[in-house]
Structure 1
Amino acid sequence: MTTPTMGRRERKNARTRQALSEAAAQLFLAKGYDQVSVKEIADAVDVSVPTVFKHVPDGKEALMFDDGVERHASLLAAVHDRPPGQSVMGALREFMSGRGPFVEDPAPELRARTELIMNTPALRDYSRKLWIRCEADLAAAIAAELGRPADDVTARAAARYVLEIPEFAGSRPDPRAALTAVFDLLEHGLPPSVLAAEDDSPSASG
């Protein structure tokens, strides 16, 4: 299958969007998200404010992210193209471990961007929005892999829980450890409580 070639207008739009994203990232990192206006970003690229909103109708927070297409495609590919013998949750665990706050030993630029996103409520909220947009399709992919109906409630719940992980675990002091803990829970359930184990012990029963 061949990839459609972009026309001149599409190429120009893509270049403008990229320039806006790069300018916004530089300004946000240098001054802080809340201290940067849309006009300042527009001026940095020599375009008008309406042009900025033409490319990012959701507002300046969207400039720190792509349009979500890569995220969506990669997420579904993690489920459908996983190696033989790997569970769906195992594949999603592996996928998430390579994203944002869960990357092990990230490059300085990625670390700075990730910290900016996780420490800025507007950016964290937008990132979560992009993940949640994938919920219906991820649920359908999980259901298909498990041989269940597309509207299966357990598949939908699993998709929702997985897609909440970046926002929930990514803000913890040790994001990778939190990622591991949450996926252990999703794959194996809650461990027996210490009190329950003590109650079932021979000494507890007399």
Structure 2
Amino acid sequence: MTIQKPFSQACENNKAPILDTIKEVFSRPTTVWEIGSGTGQHACHFAENLPHLAWQPSDRPENLAGIHLWRDEAQLPNLLPPLSLDVADLLWPCERIDAVFAANTLHIMSSEEVNLLFERLAVYLAADATVCIYGPFNYAGAYTSESNARFDLWLKERDVMSGIKDFEEIMCLAENGGLELEADNAMPANNRLLVLRKKA
């Protein structure tokens, strides 16, 4: 059975504005762990445009074949082979993580899975690690746009445990895990890009 290379139009739409932000955040050489790499499009785009970084894709096992197809085509020396990673895994395939990028992941996860993500980050993040999280968020329990309200309804119809998360809830989990907010960047299409750093 031939596997077709997966494609996400959303990734194509948002990769340029995300790059404009993270190139300032990840300005020094390091290894960035992308949690929930999805199709692999972001991994290829960011690795190509940020050659000083080693980019580590990761996702659940069922998504790895598609990421491999994108990586094989890109042939980028700083794009590492994707690793199998579920946030619920007790042991992650690493000893420490210096930087994290996650895009459009929290809203497809259950609240329990988001809790587990931040619990695991508290264990594996190195001192002074940076975490970038991209996606839609609610503020003070309210949607920031009608399109986000419709998107949240679509998510819940698809999976009742998923849905747009509250910014305040994420900040509480982050602070409990030793992270502090450095920036909350407004992005196109009613999305945000949160920049968090491990407290000294």
Give the TM-score of the pair, scaled to structure 1. Answer: 0.30
Larger radius of gyration: 1
Larger strand fraction of residues: 2
Give the TM-score of the pair, scaled to structure 2. Answer: 0.30
Larger helix fraction of residues: 1
